[in-house]
Chains A and B, each alone.
Chain A
Amino acid sequence: MSEPLLELKDIKMYFPIKEKVFKKPVNHVKAVNGVSLAVNKGETLGIVGESGCGKSTLARTIVGLLEPTSGDILFEGESILGYNKKQMHELRRDIQMVYQDPYTSLNPRMKAGEIIAAPLKAFKMTSNLNERVYELLDLVGLKREDAEKFPHQFSGGQRQRIGIARALALNPKLLILDEPVSALDVSVQAQVINLLEDLQEELGLTYVFIAHDLSVIKHIADKVAVMYLGKVMELSDSDTLYHHSKHPYTNALLSAIPLPDPEKERQRQRIMLKGELPSPANPPTGCIFHTRCPIAQESCKQHIPALEEKDGKNPNHQVACFYPQETEAIASSN
Chain B
Amino acid sequence: MLEVKNLKTYIDTENGTVKAVDDVSFQIKAGETICIVGESGSGKSVLAHSVMQLNPSPPVFHPEGEIIFEGKNLLNVNEKELRRVRGKEISMIFQDPMSSLNPVFRVGDQLIEAIRSHEKVSKKAAKKRAFELLTDVGIPDPERRLHDYPHQFSGGMRQRVLIAIALAGRPKVLIADEPTTALDVTIQAQILELMRSIQKKYGTAIILITHDLGVVAQIADRVLVMYSGRIVEKGSVSDIFYRSTMPYTWSLLRSLPRIDSDASERLIPIQGQPSNLIERPKGCHFEPRCPFATKACLEIDPSLTKRGEGHWAACILSEEEFSKKKQELEVNAQKGVAK
Contact = CB atoms under 8 A, between A and B. Distances in A.
Interface residues of A, number: 46
Contact of B268 (A190, A253, A262): A190
Nearest to B218: A258
Interface in A221-275: 238-239, 242, 252-266, 270, 272-273
A40 B144 CA distance: 51
A150 to B, nearest CB: 16
Nearest to B289: A187
A264 B263 contact: no
Contact of B274 (A187, A189, A252): A187
A256 B186 contact: yes
Given A218-B263, A259-B259, 16 more contacts: A50-B186, A187-B39, A188-B269, A190-B270, A191-B269, A193-B269, A239-B263, A255-B189, A256-B188, A256-B189, A260-B214, A260-B217, A262-B217, A265-B217, A272-B189, A272-B193
Interface in B260-286: 260, 263, 265-271, 273-274
A186 B39 contact: yes
A188 B267 CA distance: 11
B186 A219 contact: no
A321 to B, nearest CB: 17
A252 B237 CA distance: 25
B267 A265 contact: no
6 contacts: A157-B273, A187-B274, A219-B265, A255-B189, A256-B189, A262-B218
A194 interface: yes
Interface in A187-231: 187-191, 193-194, 197, 212-216, 218-219
A332 to B, nearest CB: 14
A155 interface: yes
B331 to A, nearest CB: 21
B256 interface: yes
Interface in A269-291: 270, 272-273, 276-277
A260 B213 contact: yes
Nearest to B188: A256
Contacts of A238: 263
Contacts of A219: 257, 263, 265, 267
Contact of B218 (A51, A214, A266, A276): A266
Nearest to A249: B186
Contacts of B255: 186-187, 189-190
B252 A215 contact: no
Interface in A146-178: 155-158
A131 interface: no
